[in-house]
Structure 1
């Protein structure tokens, strides 16, 4: 499968960045002269050095790729029946993190339920250390829940219970994102809710579908259908819960959306520095994982803060800063593959129902995580890397199913 080749290319690039190079080659690389001057001042013979400016961090990034690769390999070794259960398993995993966040929210601000020494204390971060990662994952899960509720088959055991459980979980996630305090999660929650409601409305299942249809009444006034009624109730309920969260002053994300902060100000001030680093380390990059150390070379007095900056908070720029042109080529290949596969569904949109809704769900969840990477680094978190890898596999399987259905049609 092509996504596995993309991960293999990233792995190969990281291995190449760790290979020691002779001094004549290494010192000719961009922005390496400062390290060569240090060795000359210390009267030390120039050693062989790898391309990366932080070998230990690059090695850590290399080992971190084991998570998405393992997730993909495990998924690809499953038969078709078990692959269908992949998304429900992801929903359960994300729901556990949401439940953990609820207990954090009702407990002490620095209680034992926070799993990391450095974290957003007082926020419902769940199994994460960063509230943005938790909120982005919840927003992506809302789309998964909408698809799951609409894709149930009428003959499935306890279908009605599973449907209402999915809808109820969405209603729990909405106020939870509000009180998490993540603006990224709040911004992504809006389109996630719209897509979830559309997937439920246009999905193949809704309660009462198997009931005997009544004859149309001769009266001009008739009750709305089950789907329309659910859509109206869902919109009213979600809107009411969001308004209640704001009015009850529990919406930290809503407050942060319209108020600036030191971290947000730093992100805007950091952008010119990131662009400068991108230009300086082209075409070979500084080495994956090296940003934390390399940034200190560029850190100006205006950018100094009591806290340190371990990531660029713009994963797209950081990816190219660390990987250079090779990383850019790998990203272009992934985007081209993604667009070509998506074009398959677009050509057969009318004939690919209901498989197309699963593809649409994966597309939305993947794009949410990629969009969140503009202002943060969710795809550097192991759990989200695994979720992303599985979603890409489900997306690819959905495309293959669409192709099979299209080829079988006369």
Structure 2
């Protein structure tokens, strides 16, 4: 008998989710396996995984089964990569010949080895995936009526991260040193300024869907004022990050948010309860000589100007005064220079991969003299290629399958008439896709957890009044049954 059968719906609370949010916010903002914060984060997440599985029936998690299957698939691949293989099989794998020769030189015989060339790194990846699954199941254990609460929690994490960056900037040093920072820009709750900027850009999309559904303020007249204030705050986070990648991502996020914003405001009728807010703010009335179409034109012109400015800054020469903008041009960025090496690794290791987490160990072997730099390259800065390099074709199929599912779910949103959620979902996927092509944003537990929660909320059906009533009835019935027993 599991915990749910013994305690019933009484356990259906937000406690586990809030606990994981706090832990992920303050311990899950790094991607390097040797960070002390991640060493503390993993056992907490794994412990939460066991507690959630004991406390809830598996049917509670069915609306997130796509992400669950993807994580479980990666866990299975990691496990297989850790199984020792006989020398006859292991030495036949590409890239293992030199290691086999070293074994014969040192030990006199060929020894059994796993697929991964760095077992410790693969164990770390396995534990990280298990802890991530624990947090995601804690989110799925929430009632659907608490979906907006989950989004608000993630929004709060972003705001705290920006506030922390502002305080750090004011004092001139990091007052809460969680990790060793990568980059010159501010990192907030993240160890990488790129990840901090991307998270701020995604927060714009979370804010617009919450505002649109009246979930941040009950005053309908004031909700878009709140949205504009939040957008300005999150753009401050983007600027503090000093990341060109974040500037480009925030420009796209602003474009999607503007589309949702415009869809929910009728500029042609200044007396409308929603558009009247904007009209009065601009000094217009229903009898103004300025037609609504000019107001609409001005709105779009302002948005396009904002987006163009951010895109322009994203391609500028980097200046130390605004963050980590130190590279003279994009062509000299290490992300572009190592692409030939990444393609060579991917074509050689498409069958089994070198093992999850082992990129930092194997890359120096393939690094050529013309791209050698005095910095440690521990990630490929391209998740699409790195997942094949480390996990082989099996991991690539998991990623492709998840992307196909996301595309089908987004199409179904548009077909069902939920255009706003469809637009925001496209925005989230596009921003993360941009971050994954030029960086490794999803290798940060906090980012991966937040993205799964956001997309699950956006792509799942909104709870109807009837379902909420039934849910409440089930809770009461369960409580009564517990009292009788």
**TM-score (normalizing by structure 1):** 0.82
Where does 1:347-366 land on structure 2 (aligned, <5 Å)?
347-348=415-416, 352=417, 355-366=418-429
**Are 2:343 and 1:275 aligned?**
yes
SS at match of 2:168: helix
Within the candidate set 362, 368, 393, 1:325 is matched to: 393
Tell me, in whole angstroms, the C-alpha distance in 2 between the residues paired with 1:239 and 1:397: 30
For the Cα contact (< 8 Å) 1:152–1:205, is it kept in 2?
A: no
TM-superposed CA distance for 1:341, in Å, is 1.8
SS at match of 2:187: coil
Equivalent residue for 1:112?
175
Equivalent residue for 1:386?
449
**Are 2:260 and 1:199 aligned?**
yes
Q: Deviations over 1:124-170 (max 9, x none)?
A: 2111111110111111111222222222179x634555542332121
**Are 2:218 and 1:176 aligned?**
no
Tell me, in whole angstroms, the C-alpha distance in 2 between the residues paired with 1:212 and 1:390: 32
**Are 2:237 and 1:167 aligned?**
no
For the Cα contact (< 8 Å) 1:90–1:387, is it kept in 2?
A: yes
Q: Deviations over 1:363-384 (max 9, x none)?
A: 3113211221111000000110
Equivalent residue for 1:98?
162
Unaligned 5+ runs, structure 1: 405-410
SS at match of 2:377: coil
Tell me, in whole angstroms, the C-alpha distance in 1 between the residues paired with 2:215 and 2:202: 23
Tell me, in whole angstroms, the C-alpha distance in 1 between the residues paired with 2:111 and 2:97: 13
SS at match of 1:374: helix
For the Cα contact (< 8 Å) 1:283–1:324, is it kept in 2?
A: yes
TM-superposed CA distance for 1:281, in Å, is 1.6
TM-superposed CA distance for 1:30, in Å, is 1.3
Unaligned 5+ runs, structure 2: 1-64, 277-284, 468-485
**Are 2:215 and 1:147 aligned?**
no
For the Cα contact (< 8 Å) 1:149–1:166, is it kept in 2?
A: yes
Q: Deviations over 1:318-357 (max 9, x none)?
A: 1110011111211221122122222322333xxx2xx431
Tell me, in whole angstroms, the C-alpha distance in 2 between the residues paired with 1:250 and 1:230: 34
RMSD: 3.7
Within the candidate set 110, 116, 124, 1:52 is matched to: 116
Equivalent pairs, count: 388
Tell me, in whole angstroms, the C-alpha distance in 2 between the residues paired with 1:347 and 1:219: 38
TM-superposed CA distance for 1:68, in Å, is 3.2
Within the candidate set 305, 314, 322, 1:252 is matched to: 322
For the Cα contact (< 8 Å) 1:145–1:167, is it kept in 2?
A: no
SS at match of 1:20: coil
TM-superposed CA distance for 1:101, in Å, is 1.5
Equivalent residue for 1:345?
413
For the Cα contact (< 8 Å) 1:151–1:203, is it kept in 2?
A: no
Within the candidate set 31, 36, 40, 2:104 is matched to: 40
TM-superposed CA distance for 1:277, in Å, is 0.9
SS at match of 1:117: coil
Q: Deviations over 1:192-225 (max 9, x none)?
A: 1111122122238999865899xxx996825759
For the Cα contact (< 8 Å) 1:186–1:253, is it kept in 2?
A: no
**Are 2:460 and 1:397 aligned?**
yes
SS at match of 1:31: coil
TM-superposed CA distance for 1:47, in Å, is 1.8
SS at match of 2:356: coil
Equivalent residue for 1:16?
80
TM-superposed CA distance for 1:186, in Å, is 0.8
Closer/same/farther in 2, CA of residues 272 and 161 from structure 1, 3 Å limit: same
Equivalent residue for 2:196?
134
Where does 1:362-381 land on structure 2 (aligned, <5 Å)?
362-381=425-444
Q: Deviations over 1:387-409 (max 9, x none)?
A: 011023113314898xx9xxxxx
Tell me, in whole angstroms, the C-alpha distance in 2 between the residues paired with 1:367 and 1:202: 20
Closer/same/farther in 2, CA of residues 151 and 234 from structure 1, 3 Å limit: farther
For the Cα contact (< 8 Å) 1:54–1:290, is it kept in 2?
A: yes
> Which region of structure 1 is more displaced relative to structure 2, 6-15 or 79-88?
79-88
Tell me, in whole angstroms, the C-alpha distance in 2 between the residues paired with 1:85 and 1:205: 28
For the Cα contact (< 8 Å) 2:345–2:389, is it kept in 1?
A: yes
TM-superposed CA distance for 1:64, in Å, is 1.0
Tell me, in whole angstroms, the C-alpha distance in 2 between the residues paired with 1:261 and 1:69: 36
TM-superposed CA distance for 1:33, in Å, is 1.0
Within the candidate set 133, 137, 150, 1:69 is matched to: 133
